[in-house]
């Protein structure tokens, strides 16, 4: 079976595109277990939306895994063998899902929470069905949460949703989780300093495109005859949104002490109280020179490793 005519466009979104001009698809899968090579999908749910938070469409379909659903898994998502006995298999559901993704016409950005898990099951389904992976790149909102809120200890969907006051009445059902993910994503990217472009978003939490392959537990893959295209797999170094520079520049001008969250040095990701002195480039990198009140000495901080800047 080949890809359907309504499959997503062959060109991924322009990295310089503003997020307000992009269509997003938050998706979630419920499965029979944790390993894409040996387990199967039982439900796919997704919501299409824009940066304004407008819901543009939904997809929700049960999938017959062709095998019994383990009791311990049923206790998590509540989907039983009786629910899926008359459902279509993954080979029939996936083309409909790809059609639905492609309905918007514009190159979409897909997202999932702990995206490697969902990407693994979709990729395995594509491979088994002989389907071509779509061009749409995928971002991981767990990574995004860790980048945007590095001082938080948990980045589970449940805790992220609670942090932003997002209600998820049917947790562990695919569409409900996808809707919760949409709300969490919007809160994260709009949190000052706002993420403004597709390229910034990719650098923060991009996972590359979906691939029609079955990943094995030891890290190997069984690759299909064709794979999707998307942003290059080479990871680009994280560049902070413009607001970070503005906050530091203002602090330098007013000699204001600020709180930064810095991802580097012996402390790892940690908050520091600093009085910025200047911004200087060295060896192609931009550094903040500041008096560190935490360590009581002058220090240098690479600006691309500063995750947050707030006034005291």
Segment 282-295, tens digit of pLDDT: 776 788 899 988 88
Give the Cα separation of 204 and 239 in Å (integer).
8
2 part of a folded domain: no
- Based on the fold, state whether residues 85 and 200 are members of the same structural domain: yes
Domain closes at, from 183, 209, 235: 209
Q: Are residues 138 and 88 in the same domain?
A: yes
Band the pLDDT of 309: cuts 50, 70, 90: confident
Same domain, 42 and 141: yes
Residue 222's DSSP bridge partners are 214
Do both 136 and 283 map to the same domain? no
* Residue 129 domain-assigned (yes or no): yes
Of 209, 234, 262, the residue at which a domain comes to its end is 209
Which ranges constitute the DSSP H helices of 130-258? Answer: 141-148, 157-163, 174-190, 198-205, 242-254
Query: Which of 83, 172, 245, 293 is flagged as catalytic?
Result: 172
Cα–Cα distance for residue pair 191/40, rounded to 1 Å: 36
As a whole number of angstroms, the distance between CA 255 and CA 277 comes to 7
Same domain, 133 and 84: yes
User: pLDDT of 36-78, one tens digit each?
Assistant: 999 999 999 999 999 999 999 999 999 999 999 999 999 999 9
In a domain, 16, yes or no: no
Residues 194 and 256 in one domain: no
Q: What DSSP state is assigned to residue 97?
A: H
Are 68 and 160 within one domain?
yes
pLDDT at 211 over 90: no
Task: Identify whether 15 is part of a domain.
Answer: no
Both 132 and 192 in a single domain? yes
240 within some domain: no
Domain containing residue 129: 24-209
Residue 215 · residue 37 · CB < 8 Å: yes
Q: Which helix (H) or strand (E) holds 126?
A: helix 115-129
Per the annotation, the verdict on 172 as an active-site residue is yes
List pLDDT tens digits, range 160-194.
999 999 999 999 999 999 999 999 999 999 988 88
Give the contacts of 271 (CB within 8 A, at least 6 positions apart).
151, 259, 260, 261, 262
Q: Is residue 205 domain-shared with residue 265, that is, in the same domain? A: no
Hey, which residues does 57 pair with through a beta bridge? 48
Q: Are residues 205 and 249 in the same domain?
A: no
pLDDT at 216: 53
CATH number for the domain harbouring residue 194:
3.30.420.10
Query: Which of 157, 186, 209 is a domain's end point?
Result: 209
**Among 120-134, 146-160, 183-197, 236-250, which stretch is predicted with the lowest mean pLDDT?**
236-250
Q: What is the CATH number of the domain that holds 264?
A: 2.30.30
Average pLDDT, the chain: 84
pLDDT at residue 220, rounded to an integer: 53
Beta bridge partners of 46: 27, 59
Say how many domains are in the chain: 2
Asked if residue 289 is part of any domain, the answer here is yes
Which range has the top average pLDDT, 136-150, 207-221, 239-253? 136-150
pLDDT of residue 107 exceeding 80: no
* Inside any domain, residue 90: yes
103 shares its domain with 190: yes
Question: Does residue 228 lie in a domain region?
Answer: no
- Say what angle helices 141-148 and 174-190 make with each other, to 10 degrees: 30
Number of H-type helices and E-type strands within the chain: 9, 13
Mark whether 173 and 275 lie in a shared domain. no
């Amino acid at each position: 079976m080949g890809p359907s005519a309504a499959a997503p466009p062959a060109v991924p979104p322009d990295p310089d595109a503003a997020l307000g001009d992009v269509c997003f698809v938050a998706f979630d899968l419920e499965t029979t277990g944790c390993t894409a090579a040996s387990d199967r999908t039982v439900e796919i749910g997704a919501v299409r939306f824009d940066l304004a938070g407008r819901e543009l469409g939904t997809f929700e379909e049960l999938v017959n895994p062709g095998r019994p659903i383990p009791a311990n898994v049923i206790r998590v998502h509540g989907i039983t063998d009786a629910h899926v006995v008359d459902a279509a298999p993954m080979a029939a559901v996936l083309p409909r899902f790809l059609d639905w993704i492609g309905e918007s016409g514009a190159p979409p950005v897909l997202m999932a929470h702990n995206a490697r898990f969902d990407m693994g099951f979709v990729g395995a389904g594509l491979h088994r069905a002989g389907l071509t992976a779509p061009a749409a790149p995928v971002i991981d909102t767990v990574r995004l949460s860790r980048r945007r809120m590095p001082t938080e200890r948990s980045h589970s969907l449940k805790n992220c949703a609670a942090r932003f006051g997002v209600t998820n009445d049917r947790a562990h059902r695919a569409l409900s989780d996808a809707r919760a993910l949409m709300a969490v994503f919007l809160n994260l990217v709009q949190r000052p300093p706002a993420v403004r472009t597709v390229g910034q978003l990719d650098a923060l939490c991009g996972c590359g495109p979906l691939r029609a392959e079955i990943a094995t537990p030891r890290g190997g893959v069984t690759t299909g005859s064709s794979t999707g295209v998307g942003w290059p797999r080479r990871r680009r170094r994280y560049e902070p949104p413009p607001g970070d520079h503005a906050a530091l520049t203002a602090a330098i001008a007013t000699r204001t002490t600020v709180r930064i969250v810095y991802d580097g040095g012996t402390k790892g990701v940690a908050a520091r109280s600093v009085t910025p002195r200047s911004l200087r480039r060295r060896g192609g990198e931009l550094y903040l020179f500041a008096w560190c009140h935490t360590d009581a000495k002058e220090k240098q901080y690479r600006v691309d490793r500063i995750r947050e800047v707030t006034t005291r």
